[in-house]
Amino acid sequence: MSGLLEARELSVRIGDTTVCHGLDLTIHAGESWALLGRNGTGKTTLLLHLAGLLPTQAGTISLVDGPLHAMTPRARARRVALLLQHSGSGLGASVLETVLGGRHPHLATLAWEGPADLAIARQSLAAMGLTEFEQRSLETLSGGELRRVEIARVLTQQCPLSLLDEPLNHLDLAHQAACLQVLGTQCVSPQRAMLMVVHDLNVAYHACGRWLLLDGAGGWHAGTRESLSDPQLLSRIYAHPIMRIETADGPVFQPGHLVPGGAVTAARSPC
C-alpha cells in the first residue's frame, strides 16, 4: 500500500546547510513520526517542504492522489495540516473565529461556516480544554493557551496528514500529556498520520513509533524508534552524550552532564 506522503530522492538546502540529501521517506496511515535533530539542522525547513509551502530543489514529494507541487494551495491544505512553530495573535479575532480558520480550505469562496463546521471547531476546542475560551480575544491568552488554540485549529482542519512543529512548546507537563493523548487519537488513525518536530527524546519515544533523524550535514536516518534509539547514534546526532536508562516502563533518555557549567564542555566532546 502506498503512503499518505512519499518523498523520493528529496534534497533540501537552506543557506549553507544541507538539511537532507536524497531523503526517501514514506509516511503510512496509522503512523506517528518524530523529526529529531539539533537546533539549526533545518527541521522546520524540511517540514515546510513536506507541507508544499517551499518549492523542492531536487526530488519529489507525492500524496496519495498525486504530486504535491501540482496541487492548488486549497487542495493541499485539505490533505496536509501544518502547525507552525510561531504564529501571530491576529487582529482582535476570537478563539472560535481563529479555530474556524481550519475550515477555510474546505469552504467555497463566499461560504460561511455551517453548523457542521461549527461543531467540528467546538469539538476541537473541547479536546484542547478550551471550551470556556470560545469568545476570548487571542490577545488575552497566555503562550500555552495560544498554543492549544493553534493545535485546535489543526484538529479542525481534519487532514489525513498533520505536520507539527514543536506542538508542545509553551505547554505545562499536564497539558503536554493531554495534548499528546489527543494528537495520538485524532491525528493518528487507520486513515491518518502525523509527523512532529520534538526535542524531548522521551516524548519522541513514547508518542512516536517512527523516527526521522537529521545529522545537520545532509545525512538522515528513518526507521522504527527501536532501530534508531541507540544511545551512540543519538549522541552523535546531538553532539552530546545521551544516556539510555532501561526501566520497567521502557527506556528513559537523559543528556549527560546535566550540571550547570558542565554541559558546555561535554557538548564539545561527544562520546
Q: How far is the CB of 196 from another protein (least distance, A)?
A: 15
Query: CA torsion sign, 78 to 97 to 148 to 117?
Result: negative
Which three three-digit cell numbers place residue 157? 482542519
3-state SS, residue 14? strand
- Regarding 3 and contact with another protein (CB under 8 A), the answer is no
**87 or 252: whose CB is closer to another protein?**
87
- Regarding 200 and contact with another protein (CB under 8 A), the answer is no
- Regarding 17 and contact with another protein (CB under 8 A), the answer is no
One residue of 16, 39, 65, 91 binding another protein per CB under 8 A: 91
Write each residue from 20 to 59 as x if it is in contact with another protein (CB under 8 A), else as -, in one continuous string.
-------------------------------x-x------
Distance between CA atoms of residues 43 and 164, nearest Å: 11
One residue of 88, 115, 143, 260 binding another protein per CB under 8 A: 88
Which three three-digit cell numbers place residue 136? 476570548
**92 or 190: whose CB is closer to another protein?**
92
- Regarding 160 and contact with another protein (CB under 8 A), the answer is no
One residue of 11, 17, 26, 87 binding another protein per CB under 8 A: 87
One residue of 98, 124, 158, 235 binding another protein per CB under 8 A: 98
- Regarding 102 and contact with another protein (CB under 8 A), the answer is yes
One residue of 84, 118, 233, 243 binding another protein per CB under 8 A: 84
Instruction: Check if the beta carbon of residue 145 is closer than 8 Å to that of residue 130.
Output: yes
**50 or 234: whose CB is closer to another protein?**
50
Q: How far is the CB of 86 from another protein (least distance, A)?
A: 8
User: DSSP strand E in the chain: where?
Assistant: 5-14, 17-27, 32-36, 58-63, 66-67, 80-83, 161-165, 193-197, 210-214, 220-224, 242-247, 250-255
Distance between CA atoms of residues 240 and 71, nearest Å: 41
Cα 219 to chain centroid distance, Å, stands at 20
One residue of 93, 178, 239, 266 binding another protein per CB under 8 A: 93
Q: How far is the CB of 235 from another protein (least distance, A)?
A: 34
Residue 85 exposure: Cα atoms within 13 Å on the Cβ side: 13
- Regarding 226 and contact with another protein (CB under 8 A), the answer is no
Instruction: Check if the beta carbon of residue 241 is closer than 8 Å to that of residue 256.
Output: yes
**93 or 252: whose CB is closer to another protein?**
93
3-state SS, residue 67? strand
Contacts for 156 with CB less than 8 Å, ≥ 6 apart: 99, 100, 101, 102, 103, 120, 121, 124
Residues that bind another protein (CB under 8 A): 51, 53, 72-78, 81-82, 84, 87-94, 97-98, 101-102, 104-105, 107, 109-110, 112, 135, 137, 139, 157
